[in-house]
């Protein structure tokens, strides 16, 4: 084995970001990076991402690329910041184009309308390979949570984004536009078809029953013990359970801030003519009794 995996846990959003290093050539990739964001004040900072940059510098590792498993709806990606600091290129699944198109009207942002600007340096599909040092990232398309979701296989590790949680956490929601519980089941079968000793690294841990943070399990343990898709489960029961649970969930607090940054590779919104940048929240107005002045 020639890679090491170092998780960094962002407590405010329960997100695990990873630095994977090819130790033979000291080349590194970062998976699912995070910007710090306070929704009340609009303050964006790079403390968490800077910790990862410091780690790379301290060990003299060379960052090759920054990968996102999907367009996250619960935290802001630091991909663009990390690229600006290191020259690393940014990567996401080809499905991001669908997600961008879907939200273009809702966010009144048509950067992608001419098909020229995706906000990422490289879009990948199942079967693609990215090399770093003497190691490789292999891509699996694992839709269901979102339709752009990809899982990354690096040696005996798979980085699953929100396709799976730890066994006691089950699975992520499938009710976002483009989400589909049946597709998620099939994607999980794809991950569970990897060798039993493959390490599964999850993107979130919400510490069920107050346990310590844990972000790594194995295919064998996930197949045996996952509370939603473990050995006692079947596809039909899973779809019913997932849909029933999703119907009770509120929109994530950082949904719109996340999308407005993450759809464009972690770029911040354009500066307006007063020199400020803004995050927009589309309003749904139930009463028709308002009069626009
Ligand atoms: Fe997600």
- d(C-alpha 181, C-alpha 243), whole Å: 7
- d(C-alpha 85, C-alpha 63), whole Å: 10
Pairing of strands 129-132, 157-159: unpaired
Residue 270 maps to a domain: no
Distance (angstroms) between ligand 1 centre and the Cα of 51 equals 23
Residue ranges with CB less than 5 Å from ion ligand 1: 72, 162
> Do 28 and 56 meet the contact criterion of CB atoms below 8 Å apart?
yes
Distance (angstroms) between ligand 1 centre and the Cα of 75 equals 9
Distance (angstroms) between ligand 1 centre and the Cα of 202 equals 11
Instruction: Name the β-bridge partners of 158.
Output: 153, 200
Distance (angstroms) between ligand 1 centre and the Cα of 174 equals 9
Distance (angstroms) between ligand 1 centre and the Cα of 5 equals 21
Q: What pLDDT was estimated at residue 229? A: 95
- d(C-alpha 20, C-alpha 199), whole Å: 13
Is 209 exposed, middle or buried (CB count within 10 Å of its CB: 0-12, 13-18, 19+)? Answer: exposed
Distance (angstroms) between ligand 1 centre and the Cα of 70 equals 7
Residue 293 maps to a domain: no
Distance (angstroms) between ligand 1 centre and the Cα of 69 equals 8
Range of the domain at 198: 3-262
Q: What pLDDT was estimated at residue 217? A: 98
- Diameter of the chain measured on Cα atoms: 66
Distance (angstroms) between ligand 1 centre and the Cα of 141 equals 14
Burial 233-251 (b: 16+ CB within 10 A, else e): beeeebbebbeebeeeeee
Distance (angstroms) between ligand 1 centre and the Cα of 160 equals 10
Distance (angstroms) between ligand 1 centre and the Cα of 137 equals 20
Q: What pLDDT was estimated at residue 21? A: 98
Residue with tokens 């940054």: 261
Distance (angstroms) between ligand 1 centre and the Cα of 104 equals 19
The number of domains in the chain is: 1
Residue 277 maps to a domain: no
Residue 284 maps to a domain: no
Residue 62 maps to a domain: yes
Q: What CATH number did the domain enclosing 58 receive?
A: 3.60.15.10
Q: What pLDDT was estimated at residue 231? A: 87
Distance (angstroms) between ligand 1 centre and the Cα of 62 equals 27
Q: What pLDDT was estimated at residue 106? A: 86
Residue with tokens 């509370």: 227
130: helix, coil or strand? strand
- d(C-alpha 56, C-alpha 52), whole Å: 6
Residue 273 maps to a domain: no
Distance (angstroms) between ligand 1 centre and the Cα of 84 equals 24
Residue 289 maps to a domain: no
Burial 178-187 (b: 16+ CB within 10 A, else e): bbbbebbbeb
- Could you give the count of Cα atoms lying within 13 Å of 97 in the half-sphere of its Cβ? 12
pLDDT means per 10 residues, the chain with 293 residues, are 95 97 97 97 97 98 98 97 97 94 83 64 96 97 96 98 97 94 97 98 96 98 96 92 96 94 92 94 81 67
Residue 287 maps to a domain: no
């Amino acid at each position: 084995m020639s890679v090491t995996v170092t998780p960094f846990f962002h407590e405010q959003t329960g997100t695990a970001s990873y630095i994977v290093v090819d130790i033979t050539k000291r080349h590194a990739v970062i998976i699912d990076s995070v910007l710090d964001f306070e929704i009340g004040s609009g303050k964006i900072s790079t403390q968490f991402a800077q910790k990862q940059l410091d780690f790379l510098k301290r060990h003299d590792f060379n960052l090759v690329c920054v990968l996102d498993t999907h367009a996250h709806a619960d935290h802001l990606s630091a991909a663009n910041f990390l690229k600006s600091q290191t020259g690393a290129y940014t990567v996401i699944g080809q499905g991001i184009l669908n997600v961008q198109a879907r939200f273009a009207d809702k966010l009144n942002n048509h950067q992608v309308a001419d098909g020229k600007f995706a906000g990422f340096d490289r879009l990948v599909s199942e079967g693609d390979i990215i090399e770093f040092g003497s190691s490789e990232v292999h891509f699996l398309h694992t839709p269901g949570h979102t339709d752009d979701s990809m899982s990354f296989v690096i040696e005996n590790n798979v980085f699953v984004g929100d396709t799976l949680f730890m066994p006691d956490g089950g699975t992520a929601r499938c009710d976002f536009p483009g989400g589909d519980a049946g597709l998620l089941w099939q994607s999980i079968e794809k991950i569970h078809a990897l060798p039993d000793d493959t390490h599964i690294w999850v993107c979130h841990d919400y510490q069920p029953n107050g346990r310590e943070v844990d972000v790594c399990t194995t295919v064998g343990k996930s197949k045996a013990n996952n509370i939603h898709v473990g050995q006692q489960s079947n596809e039909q029961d899973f779809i019913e359970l997932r849909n029933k649970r999703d119907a009770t969930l509120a929109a994530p607090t950082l949904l719109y801030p996340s999308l407005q940054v993450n759809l464009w590779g972690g770029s911040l919104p354009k500066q307006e003519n007063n020199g400020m940048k803004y995050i927009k929240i589309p309003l749904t107005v139930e009463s028709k009794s308002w009069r626009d002045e």
